[in-house]
């Protein structure tokens, strides 16, 4: 399994040689630097710690500077761990570029959805509104009864859909096709939408559950952007 960190730029469309339009998400993948290599002997599991985007010297503390110095690089703004057998071939200080993926591969994209703040049950869970006819109460959008049936009806059970913080969830979109990889612009084009706002940080990895119906039926390297 291969993995790399990137930043969502936005959506656009590209056209195949036969004229078919394909919606794609553009992800900027700056060089990923291996800041730490974790092993089962020392850490209990195998993983790579990757970092992207240089952090200001004035904003970095002594620990961050010392950690980055071991990899012969500067402190990074965004740091995350990735796992996979193919990633263990990299060593401390190595740089992973966007060409780790090729057009036609199937990947999973992990991102953070847009945060929508505190939301009511209608917006957050799709609850039905109350009656708005004459004589009805004014609680059109308020939550109804929270009573439970059974012996434990003296409390509201955990997990009950209610008002609360909506959005800002970590979500994984599986089996997306890589349309094109532009090494000159450090960009990768992926078919379809991915979670998060523009400039949001994402992780691209090899698909773990490739479905036959989702497999790439033709080579996508011939797509050209308009």
Q: What is the mean pLDDT of residues 98-118?
A: 94
Residue 200: what pLDDT?
94
Residue pair 26/50 in contact (Cβ under 8 Å)? The answer is: no
Neighbours of 193 (CB within 10 A): 14
Residue 174: what pLDDT?
94
Q: What is the mean pLDDT of residues 14-18?
A: 86
CA atoms of 13 and 26, how far apart (whole Å): 10
Residue 94: what pLDDT?
92
Give the percent of the chain with pLDDT over 70: 93
Give the residue carrying structure tokens 């992780």. Answer: 203
- Domain 1-29+101-114+168-226, CATH: 2.40.30.10
Which range, 14-18, 139-143, 159-163, 167-171, has the best average confidence (pLDDT)?
A: 167-171
Q: What is the mean pLDDT of residues 138-157?
A: 80
Q: What is the pLDDT of residues 74-87, one digit of tens each?
A: 999 999 999 988 88
Angle CA 94–28–54, to nearest 5: 50
Lowest model confidence (mean pLDDT) among 50-64, 111-125, 143-157 = 143-157
Residue 212: what pLDDT?
60
Q: What is the pLDDT of residues 166-218, one digit of tens each?
A: 999 999 999 999 999 999 999 999 999 999 999 999 999 999 987 765 444 44
Listed in order, the ranges of the chain carrying CATH 3.30.160.810 are 31-96
Give the residue carrying structure tokens 């033709």. Answer: 218
Question: 3-state secondary structure string, 158-183?
Answer: CCCCCCEEEECCEEEEEEEEEEEEEC
Residue 210: what pLDDT?
78
Residue 147: what pLDDT?
77
Residue 162: what pLDDT?
92
Q: What is the pLDDT of residues 26-49, one digit of tens each?
A: 999 999 999 999 999 999 999 999
Residue 226: what pLDDT?
46
CATH architecture of structural domain 31-96: 2-Layer Sandwich (3.30)
Q: Which residue has the higher pLDDT, 151 or 169?
A: 169
pTM equals 0.82
Listed in order, the ranges of the chain carrying CATH 2.40.30.10 are 1-29+101-114+168-226
Give the residue carrying structure tokens 């900027």. Answer: 28
Neighbours of 35 (CB within 10 A): 22
Residue 218: what pLDDT?
46
Q: What is the mean pLDDT of residues 140-162?
A: 82
Segments of the chain assigned E as strands: 3-15, 21-28, 32-38, 47-54, 76-82, 95-96, 106-112, 115-119, 164-167, 170-182, 187-191, 201-206, 224-225
CA atoms of 86 and 109, how far apart (whole Å): 18
Please enumerate in sequence order all residues whose Cβ is within 8 A of that of 171, keeping only pairs 6 or more positions apart, or say none.
Answer: 110, 111, 112, 113, 195
Residue 133: what pLDDT?
84
Among candidates 47, 12, 40, which has minimal Cα distance to 182? 12
């Amino acid at each position: 399994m291969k993995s790399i960190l990137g930043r969502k730029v936005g959506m656009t469309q590209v056209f195949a040689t036969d004229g078919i339009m394909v919606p794609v998400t553009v992800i900027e993948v700056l060089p990923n630097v291996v800041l730490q290599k974790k092993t089962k002997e020392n850490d209990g599991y195998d993983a790579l710690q990757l970092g992207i985007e240089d952090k200001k010297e004035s904003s970095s503390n002594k620990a961050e500077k010392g950690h980055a110095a071991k990899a012969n690089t500067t402190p990074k703004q965004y740091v995350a761990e990735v796992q996979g057998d193919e990633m263990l071939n990299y060593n401390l200080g190595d740089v992973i570029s966007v060409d780790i993926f090729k057009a036609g591969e199937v990947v999973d994209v992990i991102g953070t959805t847009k945060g929508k703040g505190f939301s009511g049950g209608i917006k957050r869970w799709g609850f039905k509104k109350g009656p708005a006819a004459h004589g009805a109460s004014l609680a059109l959008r308020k939550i109804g009864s929270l009573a439970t049936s059974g012996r434990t009806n003296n409390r509201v059970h955990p997990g009950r859909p209610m008002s609360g913080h909506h959005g800002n969830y970590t979500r994984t979109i599986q089996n997306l096709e890589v349309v094109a990889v532009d090494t000159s612009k450090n960009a990768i084009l992926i078919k379809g939408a991915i979670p998060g706002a523009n400039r949001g940080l994402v992780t691209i990895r090899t698909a773990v559950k490739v479905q036959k119906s989702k497999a790439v039926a033709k080579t996508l390297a011939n797509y050209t952007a308009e």
